[in-house]
Amino acid sequence: MNQIGIIGLGTMGANLARNFASRQIKTAVFNRTIETTKEFIANFGGEGHLTGYETLKEFIDSLESPRKVMLMVTAGPATEAVIEQLAEILSPKDIIIDGGNTNYKDTIRRTEQLKAKQINFIGCGVSGGEKGALEGPSLMPGGDLQVLEEIMPFLEQIAAKDFNGNPCVHPFEGIGAGNLIKTVHNGIEYGLMQVLADAYEVLRKVYNLKPEGIAEIFKDFNRSELNGFLLETAIQVLEKPDTFNKSEKLINYISDEAGSKGTGGWTVEAALEYGVPVPTLAASLFARQLSAWPEQRLKDKALFPRPLADQITKDPLDIFTAKLEQAVWLSCIVSFMQGIRLIDEVSLKNNWGVYTGDVVRVWQGGCIIRTQLLKYFPLIENGKLLESKLPTTTNSLAYVYSIAAKFGVATPALSNSFDYIAYSTDPNLPTNFVQGLRDCFGAHTYKRNDRDGVFTENW
Ligand code: 3PG
């Protein structure tokens, strides 16, 4: 009998199946298009422990009880359709594991629906791209603890390793918790990528550096605590030669219209719903959205002339890059902080048992946002500061942000990180003024800083 079944043989599903099989776990695979299954088995069946099935029934019948079926199908209607089919043929106590980028609210709903048939459901965040799926992803399964315990031995075998060599997987207690954690992982991913884009932007527009020059600076950064998957990828992207213009870099020919598939937006939605500010992550999403308006940007260019735009600085580059490194460092830390605080709050409000120390541990290996910086986390747990100091100040962030602004260059992730830190560490904010305005025009009331109670003024 097979020990686990994978439905969906796209790149991620195919590689996960091969990963399970490579650990001597007997793995059944099924794909809606039979040809894909045949091709997969023809290519990889020789690796052993992999069996393809042409019908869902045969696939299900080949699994030992309780069956463990992992869905690697596009989130949304496709996943919904497979779950409906499975609900008809699975037995009580069987477990469906959804490994797609599913909205955690869908997981809560599906878990409830399947409960009626006593079928267990786990939403499992999977990160690592195709390579991670094959060699070791970061896994974020969430749901009922008892059910999670049944699948953990399998997930532990295929997961990446954390800084201490333990598997990058943890049973996150809470229906939907795994998907929410993966969603916020992606939201942080948007932030980290925008931080690097901001650094690239200042270096090319204020210092007139070419991609290869920026790659060298990023290589230096990558030798520090900033070391991580996205920085390594950034270097690769900057160094890739173009196929059509052989003496030039591809990056110069990639259109600046950025896409997004939804999880960054879900992160911001959750932040709004739970009242947790994530300005760096939101600004990174909005930057992509602005980028996707090319015609509007051309029109707006005529509206807002930028004084020093298209000029370059004569200030020494080495001093600037040292400050830039610290600015990138802080902005990455802040991106993580915002995401982690969001997970903490959603967990608290939903009575999940998620400890964000486990979350950051699981992100130490395999996933897209893995970086040495994670050694600083968790900084805050349930609103409580766990460590009192980070080894840098915001001076560098302010410096880089102000130089960029002077030359008319936007750095949405860096500037929002600066504002986040400045606001979240200030015991005397100008929001007393906002409160005054609100009470003046709308009798919205205000609190005082010298006595208790709620007040309104006859303005
Ligand atoms: C993914 O989940 O594939 C990405 O890491 C996030 O995708 P996006 O940038 O297309 O939203």
Mean pLDDT, all residues of the chain: 95
Q: Which atom of ligand 1 is nearest to the CA of 190?
A: 9
Q: Residue 380's pLDDT is what?
A: 67
Ligand 1 pocket test target in 127, 263, 285, 368 with most atoms within 8 Å of CB: 263
Q: Cα of 387 to ligand 1 centre, how many Å?
A: 32
Has residue 341 got a pLDDT over 70? yes
d(CA 451, CA 79): 56
pLDDT (average), residues 192-208? 97
Q: Residue 321's pLDDT is what?
A: 96
281: amino acid identity, one letter: L
Catalytic annotation, residues: 182, 189
Q: Cα of 157 to ligand 1 centre, how many Å?
A: 25
Q: Cα of 123 to ligand 1 centre, how many Å?
A: 17
Q: Cα of 302 to ligand 1 centre, how many Å?
A: 33
pLDDT (average), residues 163-181? 98
Whose structure tokens read 């709050």? Answer: 345
Has residue 392 got a pLDDT over 80? no
pLDDT (average), residues 125-145? 97
Q: Residue 305's pLDDT is what?
A: 80
Within the chain, all domains assigned CATH 3.40.50.720 are found at: 4-175
Nearest Cα neighbor of 363 from 325, 332, 320, 405 is 332
Q: Residue 388's pLDDT is what?
A: 57
pLDDT (average), residues 221-226? 96
pLDDT for 415-452, tens place per residue? 999 999 999 999 999 999 999 999 999 999 999 999 99
Q: Residue 30's pLDDT is what?
A: 98
Q: Residue 219's pLDDT is what?
A: 98
Within the chain, all domains assigned CATH 1.10.1040.10 are found at: 198-424
Q: Whose CA is nearest to atom 8 of ligand 1?
A: 260
pLDDT (average), residues 140-162? 98
- The percent of residues above 90 in pLDDT, for the chain, comes to 92
- Name the class of domain 198-424: mainly alpha
Ligand 1 pocket test target in 182, 184, 189, 284 with most atoms within 8 Å of CB: 189
pLDDT for 346-390, tens place per residue? 999 999 999 999 999 999 999 999 999 999 887 766 666 665 567
Q: Whose CA is nearest to atom 6 of ligand 1?
A: 186
Q: Residue 331's pLDDT is what?
A: 97
pLDDT (average), residues 113-124? 97
Q: Are strands 380-381 and 120-127 parallel, antiparallel or unpaired?
A: unpaired
pLDDT class of 27 with cuts at 50, 70, 90: very high
pLDDT class of 68 with cuts at 50, 70, 90: very high
Q: Whose CA is nearest to atom 9 of ligand 1?
A: 260
Q: Residue 383's pLDDT is what?
A: 62
Any residues with Cβ below 6 Å from ligand 1, and which?
Answer: 101, 186, 189, 259-261, 263-264, 368
Whose structure tokens read 């049973």? Answer: 171
Q: Cα of 369 to ligand 1 centre, how many Å?
A: 12
- Which CATH number is correct for 4-175, 3.40.30.10, 3.10.20.740, 3.40.50.720, 3.30.460.80? 3.40.50.720
Q: How many CB atoms lie within 10 A of CB 207?
A: 20
